[in-house]
Structures are given as C-alpha cells and as structure tokens.
Amino acid sequence: MKKKTPGYWALNVVSILLAVICLGPLVWALFVSLQHEGKQIKSVLDWFTPPYTLQNYPDIIANSGVPTWLINSLIIAVLVTCLTVIFSAMAAYALAKLKFKGSNAFFLYFLLGILVPGEATIVPLFITVNNLHLIDSYAGMILPSIAGSMNLIIMVTFFRGLPDELLEAAKIDGAGEVRIFFQVALPLSKTIISTVCIFAFVGSWNNYLWPLLCAMSENLFTLPIGIPTLAGTYTVDYVVPLTASMVASLPMIIIYIIFEKQIVAGITSGAVKG
C-alpha cells in the first residue's frame, strides 16, 4: 500500500475546504427555502432552525411564473447547445481540414474575438436584432448565443489533431467531405463535443444580460431574470427567491447526476496526453 505523504493530506484538506465553501451557499439556500415566510431572523443560526415547511415549493410553482421561466430556460439552453455544436463543428472542420485562401485569417479573426468582452458588443447586437424584428422572441434570444469564439477554437484545435491519413483513407474509399465530416470526424469527436455542450448549456442557462435586454414580456423571461422579480421592493425576505432558486437548480443537478462521467471527461479532455 502506498504511503500517504504530507502533500497528500494537505491536498485533501484543501479539497474539503473548497467543497465546503462551494456547497455552503447551496446548503444555506436549501434551509432558507424550508423556512416559513416572514420568520424573524435574529442571527445566522435562525436560518437553520425549525420549524420547517415544504409548502413553499408547491406555492412557488402554482402562484408564480417559475414553471414558465423554467421551460423557457430549458428550451433556449437546449436549442443554443444543439445549434452551437452543429455550427461550431462544421466551421471548425472547415478551418482545420479544408485548405482555402484566408483560412488562417479567419481563424485569427475568431481568436481575437475572445479578447472582446460580451458587454462591449451588446449595443450593436441589440440594434441588429431590433432591426431584424427579433426582440422579444425566442429567435432573438437564441441566435446571438450560438456564435461563440471559444467553442469554435476548442473544436478547431481538436480537429487539427485528427490524423490526415485517416481522412485521406476515407477519400480513397470514395467519401466526400460531407460524408467524412459526419461519419469519420464527428464520431471521433464525442469527448470534445461533450465539452462544448457543457460550456454552451451552462452559459445559456446562466445568461443574464442578453435575455434581460431581449425579453420584454414576462412570458419570455428565463430563470436568471425572472427570479429577481420575486424579491420584495421595500422588504427583504429571502424565502421566496431562494425557493425559486432551488427549483431552478434541480434541472442542473439532475443533468449532472445523469451525465457525470461525460461532464468530467469533457472538462478534463486534453489535460492528460498519452
């Protein structure tokens, strides 16, 4: 049995502390969501003391827009993820494997896009979407989110690592570029596609600024912009907003439990090279 070194124990202690720091707010939110609304809080410990109630959850589902916002968030996040993977993969394959004039310039252009913060493009983006009459629509909230430089660069880097000999062998067998892309390149890209799916889904799910500007009617709100509207204007009561936040967290928790292996493999892809 391998001897445990001081570094091993130090790493475990640091990992446990980081886990406590990350889980602390989630545990606090869970306990707050189980409290009676309007409960007097004199100290931090009062948030964790009984009596508890589960009535907040059916109340928030039945008497608020949370179910609608949840459905909107799911629809937008799923569509953004699917479209991002499709278009990023096709563009990345073209830049990595199809030699054409200006391909390096195109790649540099997308690479420079990482340096531009999203907030800097929000005004021209709003003007463009407004001129296309897509404000306050699903299309207006989805389309601007599918063209991300980071996802494209990740996939270009991966496709460049695919052996050219493998693609040439497919061409010798009579396969065209479209068939090579769908039947050779994509099946070999499951890990990197998982990575892009994670980034795209989480980014869309947590997106706040663009939905705030694009969604004018409450029936198009997503969870990040809908939940703050539940907070009182003149009083501070955390029970209702945090109950809504716990409901909003359930899909992400379920997705993580189901796809844990794919998520870990996607995040760590490229970290270890054989």
The overall average pLDDT reported for the chain is 85
For 66-267, CATH gives: 1.10.3720.10
Q: What is the chain's percent helix, strand, coil content, to nearest 5?
A: 75, 0, 25
Per DSSP, 217 falls in state: S
State the CB neighbour count (10 A cutoff) for residue 31.
Answer: 14
Give percent above pLDDT 70 in the chain.
93
pLDDT value for 271: 47
pLDDT bin (cut points 50, 70, 90) of residue 84 is: very high
Domain boundaries, the chain: 66-267
Burial of 180 (0-12, 13-18, 19+ CB in 10 A): buried
The closest of 100, 66, 77 to 241, measured between CA atoms, is 66
The pLDDT assigned to 267 comes to 60
Q: What is the mean pLDDT of residues 172-187?
A: 87
Is 80 exceeded by the pLDDT of residue 264?
no
DSSP-assigned letter for residue 231: S
Q: Are 154 and 85 in contact (CB under 8 A)?
A: no
pLDDT of residue 174: 84
The whole-angstrom separation of Cα 88 and Cα 154 is: 9
Q: Which helix (H) or strand (E) holds 12?
A: helix 6-33
The span from the CA of 51 to the CA of 35, in Å, is 7
- The pTM of this model reads 0.83
Residue with tokens 């039947």: 183
Q: Is 226 exposed, middle or buried (0-12, 13-18, 19+ CB in 10 A)?
A: buried
For 40, phi then psi, to 5°, come to -75, 130
CA distances 88 to 92, 150, 190, 196, Å, are 6, 10, 14, 9
Write out 248-272 in H/E/C secondary structure.
HHHHHHHHHHHCHHHHHHHHCCCCC
| pLDDT tens-place string over residues 33-75 | 898 887 777 888 888 888 889 888 998 888 888 899 999 999 9
Report the alpha-carbon distance of residue 64 to residue 244 in Å, rounded: 9
Per residue in 197-223, pLDDT tens?
888 998 899 899 999 999 999 899 999
